């Protein structure tokens, strides 16, 4: 994918829907949702909507479909219930919001935004957090037992589908934002918190870079993966793709032997996708390129 020019006025939306090891398991419907979400986000960006709004809107659409391990389709923990995590980073202001262990909120990414904008905190977790967030306007699911339908009911445990969702966006004003939402790993222990809830691990944005990760979260937390990619690119002057590949292929894939992938963009218009599994569901559009959605990566 070509980088856009450095000039102001350009926009980019890049989305992921998790890594895959078996292409036979990818559903057309999943790619269709990604294509629609990216198309809608691209139009919003063309109209001047802020990156942060587009990240939240895009992830909300994906959470609501039940086709990903996020929101409605979230995997169950070992005790048989959903515990959702999400995080959101605003590159323009440096602010961030995150939620973990949500059992009844419909849209974890919106909840993360409420944390960021209305609480003065960065992260809230658990039942008390849910009540606080409901009081601040977050929507609770009316019938928890029947609302959540884990996407993994369609797969065996070894299918290799992950299904976490994430988005990184550059808006026409040159502002970046990133977000990630997940039901976590299948059969996780109750109370386990993923990288997708942790700013710097699964989600990161500053004035120059926006990053969203997917994969075995424990390794992304240990390596502060999303933050490392952005800072490595910035401090060392590497291309964003080189920085992403270093983390995903050399460190998490190579040294740790753990699966994962990442999407990242820069204010200068660089676009990076890196994945050490077979592929990663993703979609992309910008003011200069039409909408694409797929699961094979163009590199490496
Ligand atoms: N990172 C998520 C987690 O560890 C899972 C994923 O991205 O597939 O819960």
Q: What is the DSSP letter of 297?
A: -
| 241 in contact with ligand 1, CB cutoff 6 A | no
Could you give the residue numbers annotated as active site? Answer: 164
CB 205 within 8 A of CB 112: no
Residue 295, phi then psi, degrees to nearest 5: -130, -15
Q: What is the DSSP letter of 41?
A: H
Mean pLDDT of the chain: 93
What is the helix (H) or strand (E) element at residue 30, kind and residue range? helix 28-46
Q: Among all chains, which residue has been given the structure tokens 């973990």?
A: 100
pLDDT tens-digit map of 126-182: 999 999 999 999 999 999 999 999 876 544 444 456 799 999 999 999 999 999 999
3-state secondary structure (DSSP) of residue 101 = strand
Calculate the CA dihedral of residues 181, 186, 190, 192 and round it to 10 degrees. -50
294 Cα–ligand 1 center, Å: 20
- Give the pLDDT of residue 232: 98
Structure token digits, residue 279? 């592929």
Q: What are the strands, taking DSSP E only, across 84-227?
A: 84-90, 96-102, 123-125, 165-170, 176-182, 203-205, 209-215
Q: What distance in angstroms lies between residue 111's CA and the mean position of ligand 1's atoms?
A: 18
Q: What is the mean pLDDT of each run of 10 residues along the chain (300 residues)?
A: 61 95 79 97 98 98 96 94 98 98 98 98 98 98 93 52 91 98 94 98 98 97 98 97 98 96 97 94 95 75
Q: What's the gap in Å between 5 CA and the centre of ligand 1?
A: 33
Tell me the backbone φ, ψ of residue 261, rounded to 5 degrees.
Answer: -155, 170
pTM for the full model? 0.95
259 CB within 6 A, ligand 1: no
């Amino acid at each position: 994918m070509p980088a856009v020019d450095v000039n102001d006025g350009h926009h980019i939306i890049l989305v992921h829907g998790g890594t895959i090891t078996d292409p036979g398991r990818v559903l057309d419907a999943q790619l269709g949702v990604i294509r629609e979400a990216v198309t809608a986000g691209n139009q919003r960006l063309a109209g001047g909507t802020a990156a942060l709004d587009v990240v939240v809107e895009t992830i909300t659409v994906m959470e609501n479909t039940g086709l990903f391990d996020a929101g409605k389709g979230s995997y169950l923990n070992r005790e048989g219930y959903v515990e959702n995590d999400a995080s959101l980073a605003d590159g323009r202001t440096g602010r961030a919001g995150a939620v973990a262990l949500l059992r009844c909120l419909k849209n974890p990414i919106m909840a993360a935004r409420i944390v960021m904008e209305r609480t003065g905190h960065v992260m809230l977790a658990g039942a008390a957090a849910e009540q606080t967030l409901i009081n601040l306007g977050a929507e609770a699911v009316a019938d928890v037992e029947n609302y959540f339908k884990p996407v993994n009911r369609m797969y065996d445990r070894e299918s290799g589908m992950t299904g976490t969702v994430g988005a990184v966006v550059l808006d026409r004003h040159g502002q970046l934002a990133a977000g990630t939402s997940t039901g976590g790993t299948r059969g996780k222990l109750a109370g386990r918190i993923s990288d997708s809830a942790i700013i710097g691990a699964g989600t990161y944005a500053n004035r120059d870079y926006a990053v969203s990760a997917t994969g075995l979260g424990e390794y992304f937390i240990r390596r502060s993966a999303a933050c490392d990619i952005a800072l490595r690119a910035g401090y060392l002057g590497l291309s964003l793709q080189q920085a992403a590949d270093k983390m995903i292929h050399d460190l998490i894939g190579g040294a740790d032997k753990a699966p994962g992938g990442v999407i990242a963009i820069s204010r200068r218009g660089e676009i990076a996708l890196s994945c050490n599994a077979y592929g990663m569901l993703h979609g992309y559009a910008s003011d200069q390129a039409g909408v694409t959605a797929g699961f094979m990566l163009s590199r490496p």
